[in-house]
Protein backbone atom coordinates (compact mmCIF):
# COMPACT_ATOMS: atom_id res chain seq x y z
CA UNK A 1 0.00 0.00 0.00
CA UNK A 2 1.29 3.46 -0.93
CA UNK A 3 1.45 6.14 1.70
CA UNK A 4 1.22 9.83 0.84
CA UNK A 5 3.76 12.23 2.27
CA UNK A 6 2.41 14.49 4.98
CA UNK A 7 2.25 18.26 4.46
CA UNK A 8 3.00 17.92 0.74
CA UNK A 9 -0.26 19.23 -0.71
CA UNK A 10 -1.87 22.57 0.12
CA UNK A 11 -5.16 22.71 1.97
CA UNK A 12 -8.13 22.62 -0.41
CA UNK A 13 -10.95 25.03 0.45
CA UNK A 14 -14.52 25.44 -0.75
CA UNK A 15 -14.17 29.12 -1.65
CA UNK A 16 -16.28 31.96 -3.02
CA UNK A 17 -15.18 33.91 -6.09
CA UNK A 18 -16.28 37.56 -6.02
CA UNK A 19 -16.30 39.70 -9.15
CA UNK A 20 -16.02 43.49 -9.25
CA UNK A 21 -19.56 43.58 -10.71
CA UNK A 22 -20.92 41.89 -7.57
CA UNK A 23 -21.45 38.41 -9.01
CA UNK A 24 -20.33 35.53 -6.78
CA UNK A 25 -19.99 31.78 -7.27
CA UNK A 26 -18.49 28.87 -5.36
CA UNK A 27 -15.52 26.77 -6.44
CA UNK A 28 -12.69 24.75 -4.95
CA UNK A 29 -9.25 26.29 -4.53
CA UNK A 30 -6.13 26.41 -2.43
CA UNK A 31 -7.02 30.06 -1.72
CA UNK A 32 -9.63 30.97 0.89
CA UNK A 33 -11.10 33.85 -1.14
CA UNK A 34 -10.73 34.94 -4.75
CA UNK A 35 -11.48 38.42 -6.11
CA UNK A 36 -11.63 38.95 -9.88
CA UNK A 37 -12.20 41.97 -12.11
CA UNK A 38 -14.40 40.40 -14.78
CA UNK A 39 -16.61 37.31 -15.01
CA UNK A 40 -19.12 35.71 -17.38
CA UNK A 41 -21.91 37.90 -15.95
CA UNK A 42 -20.20 41.17 -16.95
CA UNK A 43 -17.83 40.25 -19.80
CA UNK A 44 -18.98 41.88 -23.07
CA UNK A 45 -18.55 38.66 -25.06
CA UNK A 46 -21.02 36.77 -22.86
CA UNK A 47 -23.48 39.65 -22.35
CA UNK A 48 -23.81 40.31 -26.08
CA UNK A 49 -22.53 43.86 -25.79
CA UNK A 50 -19.28 43.12 -27.59
CA UNK A 51 -17.99 45.99 -29.71
CA UNK A 52 -15.54 45.29 -32.49
CA UNK A 53 -13.12 48.15 -32.88
CA UNK A 54 -11.86 48.08 -36.44
CA UNK A 55 -9.38 50.84 -37.18
CA UNK A 56 -7.94 49.62 -40.47
CA UNK A 57 -10.73 47.56 -42.06
CA UNK A 58 -9.27 44.33 -40.71
CA UNK A 59 -12.62 42.69 -39.97
CA UNK A 60 -13.94 43.33 -43.49
CA UNK A 61 -10.65 42.14 -44.99
CA UNK A 62 -10.87 38.93 -42.98
CA UNK A 63 -14.50 38.36 -44.00
CA UNK A 64 -13.60 38.86 -47.69
CA UNK A 65 -10.70 36.43 -47.34
CA UNK A 66 -12.95 33.78 -45.79
CA UNK A 67 -15.63 34.33 -48.44
CA UNK A 68 -13.06 34.03 -51.24
CA UNK A 69 -11.69 30.83 -49.72
CA UNK A 70 -15.20 29.37 -49.46
CA UNK A 71 -16.01 30.17 -53.12
CA UNK A 72 -12.65 28.77 -54.27
CA UNK A 73 -13.38 25.55 -52.39
CA UNK A 74 -16.74 25.16 -54.18
CA UNK A 75 -15.06 25.31 -57.62
| pLDDT given for residue 55 in this prediction | 66
Region 13-74: CATH code: 4.10.80.400
Task: Dump strand ranges (E) for the chain.
Answer: 13-19, 24-29, 33-36
**SS3 helix, strand, coil % of the chain, rounded to 5?**
30, 25, 50
What local confidence, expressed as pLDDT, does residue 52 receive? 66
Task: Encode pLDDT of 21-50 as tens digits.
Answer: 999 999 999 999 999 998 888 887 777 777
pTM for this predicted structure: 0.52
Amino acid sequence: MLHMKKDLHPTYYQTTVTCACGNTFATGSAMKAIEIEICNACHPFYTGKEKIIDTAGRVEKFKRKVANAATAKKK
